[in-house]
Amino acid sequence: MSIWKSPKTPQEMNTLHEATMVQHLGINFTELGADFVRATMPVDQRTRQPYGLLHGGASVVLAETIGSMGAGMCIDMREFQGVGQEINANHVRAARSGLVTGTARPVHLGGRSHVWAIDIVNDAGKLVCTSRLTVAIIRRGALGA
């Protein structure tokens, strides 16, 4: 059974992120399952730190991007919006090249908050980073101008 209230195709997700940091880093949404969202990101000059390794901050951007997209698709976007409240990341393996793939799955889908677990793996399927994202669910317009 699907968890989505406002589902989007991967192409729609990619179009939504045109002209943003997400597009600049080469993040590409690839799959929407019944209970997960998946996207890839290249390990290249845009996402590496000076020692040639995937920058931890880039992994966090990938994690928050996928988790936030998932949270948005689980709510009625006409009435509510999700805003990132907290994120953590454990970097467990270096990546130097290729693509990393992040998969976000909900841990908790409440009326006021969501918690998402995001695992990022390398081309060999080995864990590079595991992250947890908390998203506050607020009424549209609550943030003001």
For 60-81, write each residue's pLDDT tens digit.
Answer: 999 999 999 999 999 999 999 9
- Token duo for residue 118: 């995001």
Give me the CATH topology for the region 10-139.
Answer: Thiol Ester Dehydrase; Chain A (3.10.129)
Residues 6+ apart with CB under 8 A from 86: 133, 134
Please, which residues bridge with residue 135 across strands?
84, 114
64 catalytically annotated: yes
Confidence of residue 143 (pLDDT cuts 50, 70, 90): confident
> Which one of 12, 18, 31, 64 is the catalytic residue?
64
* Residue at 99: amino acid letter: L
Domain ranges for the chain, please list them.
10-139
Work out the average pLDDT over 140-145.
76
Residue identified by tokens 């990938």 is 62
**HSE-up of 110 (CA within 13 Å, CB side)?**
10
Q: Model pTM greater than 0.85?
A: yes
Q: Sign of dihedral through CA atoms 60, 61, 63, 64?
A: positive
